[in-house]
Structure 1
Amino acid sequence: MNELRKLAELYGIETNYYDIHGSHIQIEDEVLVNLLGSFGEYPQNRSGWVENIHRKKEEIAFPIPPVIVTSTREIAFVPQLNWLSGSLFLARENVILEIPFRVENHKWSFPLPLDLEWGYYPLNFEIRTTLNTLYLKSYFIFTPKYCYLPEEKNFWGLNLAVYSLNTRRKQGIGDLQDLRLVSDLLQKYGGNFLGILPIHLLENRMPYGTSPYYPMDRLEWNPIYLPLEWIAQILEINLEHNSTEFCSLLNDQSSQNRSLLDYESAWKGKDQILRNFFQIWQKKAIKPSSLSKKSFSDFLTDGGKRIIHSAFFQAYALKQGWDFRSWPQDFQRGDEEAIAQFINKNHEEVNYFLFLQWLMEIYLKTYFQSSNMLAFDLPVGTSPTGIESWLNQDLFVFSQRVGAPPDDFSPAGQNWGFPPVNPWKDREKHYSHFISLIQANMKYCSFLRIDHIMGLYRLFWIPEGCDPKHGTYVRSFFQDLLGIVALESHRRQVIVIGEDLGTVPPQVREAMKAYKILSTRVLYFESDHKGFIPAPECYPRETMVTIGTHDMPPLKAFLEGKDIDLREKLNLFTPEEAAEQYQIRQHRIQGIKSKLMEWGYWRETDTFEDLLEAILLYLSKTSSTLKIVNLDDLIESDVQLNIPGTINEYPNWRHRLLVGCDELESKIQKMALIFKL
Structure 2
Amino acid sequence: MVALESGETNSPIASHYIDARGEEITIAPHIVKHITTLMASPSSSGLTDTVVLYPSHDLITPTTGFMPTSWKFIPETGEPLEGLWQSGQKSWRLPANTPFGYHQLRLENGIQRYSMMIICAPQRCFIPPQLQHSAVWGSCIQLYTLRSQTNWGIGDFDDLKEWITRCAQQGASFVGLNPIHALYPAAPEQASPYSPSSREWLNIIYIAVPKVLAFQTSKWAQKWFHQHKIQQQLESLRNMNWVDYSQVTKFKLIGLHLAFREFRRHPDFKAERLKFAEFLNKGGTSLYRQGTFDALHRFLRNRFPNAQGWSQWSSAYHSPEAPEVVAFQHRHPRLIQFYCWLQWLAATQFAECAKRAIRCQMPIGLYRDVAVGVTGHGAQTWSERHYYCMDAEIGAPPDILGPLGQNWKLPPLDPQKLKQFHFQPFIEMIRANMKGCGALRLDHVMGLLRLWWLPKGEDARHGTYVHYPIDTMLAILALESQRHRCMIIGEDLGTVPQAIVTKLKTAGIFSYKVLYFEKDREHNFMQPEHYPNQSIATISTHDLPTLKGFFAHLDLKLGKQLGLYPDATVLSELHDERTLDCQKLITTIKQTFNLTRLPESQLNHFVHAFLAKTQSALLGLQPEDWLGMTQPVNIPGTETAYPNWRRKLTLNIDEIFSHTDVLELLALLEGIRSHPQPNDE
Using the alignment, how far apart are the partners of 2:66 and 2:652 within structure 1?
Answer: 74
Distance apart, 1:350 and its partner CA: 0.8
Using the alignment, how far apart are the partners of 1:205 and 1:654 within structure 2?
Answer: 18
Structure 1 stretch 414-423 or stretch 73-82: which is displaced more?
Answer: 73-82
**Counterpart in 2 of 1:575?**
568
2:107 to 109, 119, 125: 125
Distance apart, 1:669 and its partner CA: 5.5
Corresponding residue SS for 2:191: coil
1:564 to 556, 560, 565: 556
Distance apart, 1:254 and its partner CA: 2.4
**Counterpart in 2 of 1:143?**
121
Q: Report if aligned partners of 2:181, 2:201 keep a CA contact under 8 Å in 1.
A: yes
Q: Report if aligned partners of 1:403, 1:417 keep a CA contact under 8 Å in 2.
A: yes
- The 1:595–1:326 alpha-carbon spacing in structure 2 relative to 1, beyond 3 Å, is closer
Using the alignment, how far apart are the partners of 1:460 and 1:208 within structure 2?
Answer: 27
Structure 1 stretch 219-228 or stretch 312-321: which is displaced more?
Answer: 312-321
- The 1:349–1:245 alpha-carbon spacing in structure 2 relative to 1, beyond 3 Å, is farther
Q: Report if aligned partners of 1:15, 1:26 keep a CA contact under 8 Å in 2.
A: yes
**Counterpart in 1 of 2:410?**
418
- The 1:78–1:663 alpha-carbon spacing in structure 2 relative to 1, beyond 3 Å, is same
1:595 to 568, 571, 588: 588
Distance apart, 1:28 and its partner CA: 1.5
Distance apart, 1:318 and its partner CA: 1.4
- The 1:506–1:590 alpha-carbon spacing in structure 2 relative to 1, beyond 3 Å, is same
**Counterpart in 1 of 2:247?**
265
Using the alignment, how far apart are the partners of 1:262 and 1:200 within structure 2?
Answer: 19
Distance apart, 1:329 and its partner CA: 4.3
Amino acid at match of 1:14: A
Amino acid at match of 2:123: K
Amino acid at match of 2:298: L
What are the superposed Cα offsets for residues 161-189 of structure 1, whole Å, 9 maximum, x if unpaired?
A: 11111222251111111112211111112
Amino acid at match of 2:53: T
Q: Report if aligned partners of 2:319, 2:325 keep a CA contact under 8 Å in 1.
A: no
Corresponding residue SS for 1:156: strand
**Counterpart in 2 of 1:305?**
285
Using the alignment, how far apart are the partners of 1:380 and 1:418 within structure 2?
Answer: 9
Using the alignment, how far apart are the partners of 2:189 and 2:25 within structure 1?
Answer: 32
**Which residues of structure 2 form unaligned runs of 5+?**
1-8, 302-307, 358-363, 673-681
1:146-295 aligned within 5 A: 146-150=124-128, 151-203=132-184, 209-232=190-213, 235-236=216-217, 243-244=225-226, 248=230, 252-286=234-268, 292-295=272-275
Structure 1 stretch 578-587 or stretch 235-244: which is displaced more?
Answer: 235-244
**Counterpart in 1 of 2:77?**
93
Q: Report if aligned partners of 1:189, 1:672 keep a CA contact under 8 Å in 2.
A: yes
Using the alignment, how far apart are the partners of 1:100 and 1:584 within structure 2?
Answer: 69
2:464 to 457, 465, 472: 472
**Counterpart in 2 of 1:53?**
none
Using the alignment, how far apart are the partners of 2:633 and 2:186 within structure 1?
Answer: 17
What are the superposed Cα offsets for residues 59-82 of structure 1, whole Å, 9 maximum, x if unpaired?
A: 49x3x3111223245242255346
Corresponding residue SS for 2:393: strand
Distance apart, 1:94 and its partner CA: 4.1
**Counterpart in 2 of 1:363?**
349
**Counterpart in 2 of 1:674?**
669
**Counterpart in 1 of 2:97?**
115
1:505-654 aligned within 5 A: 505-573=497-565, 574-600=567-593, 604-608=597-601, 610-654=602-646
Using the alignment, how far apart are the partners of 2:594 and 2:519 within structure 1?
Answer: 18
Corresponding residue SS for 1:394: helix
What are the superposed Cα offsets for residues 425-445 of structure 1, whole Å, 9 maximum, x if unpaired?
A: 111100000000000000121
Percentage of matched positions with identical amino acids: 28
Using the alignment, how far apart are the partners of 1:462 and 1:33 within structure 2?
Answer: 12
Distance apart, 1:102 and its partner CA: 7.3
- The 1:583–1:297 alpha-carbon spacing in structure 2 relative to 1, beyond 3 Å, is same
Distance apart, 1:206 and its partner CA: 6.9
Using the alignment, how far apart are the partners of 1:352 and 1:378 within structure 2?
Answer: 26
**Counterpart in 2 of 1:342?**
328
Q: Report if aligned partners of 2:151, 2:159 keep a CA contact under 8 Å in 1.
A: no
Cα RMSD, aligned residues only: 2.5
Corresponding residue SS for 2:235: coil
Aligned pair 1:323/2:309, yes or no? yes
- The 1:422–1:183 alpha-carbon spacing in structure 2 relative to 1, beyond 3 Å, is same
1:483 to 463, 471, 475: 475
Distance apart, 1:244 and its partner CA: 3.9
Q: Report if aligned partners of 2:214, 2:259 keep a CA contact under 8 Å in 1.
A: no
Q: Report if aligned partners of 1:617, 1:675 keep a CA contact under 8 Å in 2.
A: no
Corresponding residue SS for 2:387: coil
- The 1:27–1:614 alpha-carbon spacing in structure 2 relative to 1, beyond 3 Å, is same
Distance apart, 1:125 and its partner CA: 1.3
Amino acid at match of 1:314: D
Distance apart, 1:335 and its partner CA: 1.5
Distance apart, 1:337 and its partner CA: 5.7
**Counterpart in 2 of 1:52?**
none
Amino acid at match of 2:28: E
Using the alignment, how far apart are the partners of 1:205 and 1:342 within structure 2?
Answer: 17
Q: Report if aligned partners of 2:58, 2:93 keep a CA contact under 8 Å in 1.
A: yes
**Counterpart in 2 of 1:51?**
none
Q: Report if aligned partners of 2:397, 2:452 keep a CA contact under 8 Å in 1.
A: yes
Q: Report if aligned partners of 1:547, 1:629 keep a CA contact under 8 Å in 2.
A: yes
What are the superposed Cα offsets for residues 10-53 of structure 1, whole Å, 9 maximum, x if unpaired?
A: 43100111211122222112212211111257xxxxxxxxxxxx
Distance apart, 1:246 and its partner CA: 11
Using the alignment, how far apart are the partners of 2:86 and 2:317 within structure 1?
Answer: 51
Normalised TM-score (structure 1): 0.90
What are the superposed Cα offsets for residues 320-378 of structure 1, whole Å, 9 maximum, x if unpaired?
A: 24522344545312226654432221111111101100101111112314624111100
- Greater RCO (CA < 8 Å, at least 6 residues apart): 2
Using the alignment, how far apart are the partners of 1:309 and 1:668 within structure 2?
Answer: 46
Q: Report if aligned partners of 2:536, 2:618 keep a CA contact under 8 Å in 1.
A: yes
Using the alignment, how far apart are the partners of 1:503 and 1:658 within structure 2?
Answer: 34
Amino acid at match of 2:290: S
- The 1:412–1:668 alpha-carbon spacing in structure 2 relative to 1, beyond 3 Å, is farther
**In the comparison of the two structures, how many residue pairs are matched?**
644
Q: Report if aligned partners of 1:554, 1:640 keep a CA contact under 8 Å in 2.
A: yes
- The 1:37–1:256 alpha-carbon spacing in structure 2 relative to 1, beyond 3 Å, is same
Using the alignment, how far apart are the partners of 2:228 and 2:196 within structure 1?
Answer: 29
**Counterpart in 1 of 2:58?**
74
Amino acid at match of 1:139: M
Distance apart, 1:661 and its partner CA: 3.5
- The 1:302–1:170 alpha-carbon spacing in structure 2 relative to 1, beyond 3 Å, is closer
Corresponding residue SS for 2:104: strand
Amino acid at match of 2:485: Q
Corresponding residue SS for 1:657: coil
Using the alignment, how far apart are the partners of 1:85 and 1:344 within structure 2?
Answer: 50
Distance apart, 1:399 and its partner CA: 0.9
What are the superposed Cα offsets for residues 616-657 of structure 1, whole Å, 9 maximum, x if unpaired?
A: 211221111100111211111101111111101111111111
Q: Report if aligned partners of 2:73, 2:103 keep a CA contact under 8 Å in 1.
A: no
Corresponding residue SS for 1:220: strand
**Which residues of structure 1 form unaligned runs of 5+?**
1-8, 42-55
Q: Report if aligned partners of 2:205, 2:249 keep a CA contact under 8 Å in 1.
A: yes
Corresponding residue SS for 1:108: coil
Amino acid at match of 1:218: R
Q: Report if aligned partners of 2:291, 2:339 keep a CA contact under 8 Å in 1.
A: yes
Normalised TM-score (structure 2): 0.89
